[in-house]
Amino acid sequence: MKIAFLATDMVEQVELTEPWAAVEGEGWTPELVSPKAGSIQGVNHFDKADTFSVDHTIHDANAEDYDALVVPGGVANPDAMRTDPDAVEFVREFFRQGKPVAVICHGPWMLVEADVVRNRELTSWPSLATDIRNAGGRWRDAEVVVDQGLVTSRKPADLPAFCAKLVEEFHEGRHAGQRAAASARGGAAR
């Protein structure tokens, strides 16, 4: 399987590297997709960490080429990406195709922007709870929440549970509940 990791500068490094290692541990191929070419800057909270080479820009990537999607957090990473219409559409397309998606920390901002949380249960960094509720989702304070192919977690401390569940959901493959989330908004691009 080929797994897309959607991230840009200021991605929380451990939320990228631990799921990446879990994907590789299954023998799957992770690829870094980003709105920018070259490399992106990881952070440990707000301190600069490592840089990561981008495999494909969001403008060249196609959700049909991947089996699943991971969106790591960090405050600035999803906040920057949610203003990029191509990044938002990339996320939305995984839901249209019924493919599993795993999102952690502040990453659910991408789900809110893609309008795919309506009538779904998920978790996130606590400060996103109101955004999720305002978008029609049901926010729950738990280390990991799974809702028909959508895996969400709150923070780096939740990574062991997050990685275990994303592996499980990715093995299961497509989920009708993902398609329903995209259909609830009409399935059309903004």
In DSSP notation, 109-125 reads: HHHHHHT--TT-EE--S
175 is catalytic: no
Q: Which of 56, 59, 105, 171 is catalytic?
A: 105
Q: Which of 45, 56, 106, 171 is catalytic?
A: 106
Three-state DSSP at 101 gives: strand
105 is catalytic: yes
Q: How far apart are CA 103 and CA 117, in angstroms?
A: 12
Contacts of 161-167 spanning 24+ positions with Cβ under 8 A: 162/19, 162/102, 162/104, 163/18, 163/19, 163/21, 163/22, 164/22, 165/102, 166/19, 166/22, 166/68, 166/70, 166/100, 166/102, 167/22, 167/23, 167/25, 167/26
Report, as residue numbers or ranges, the catalytic residues. 105-106
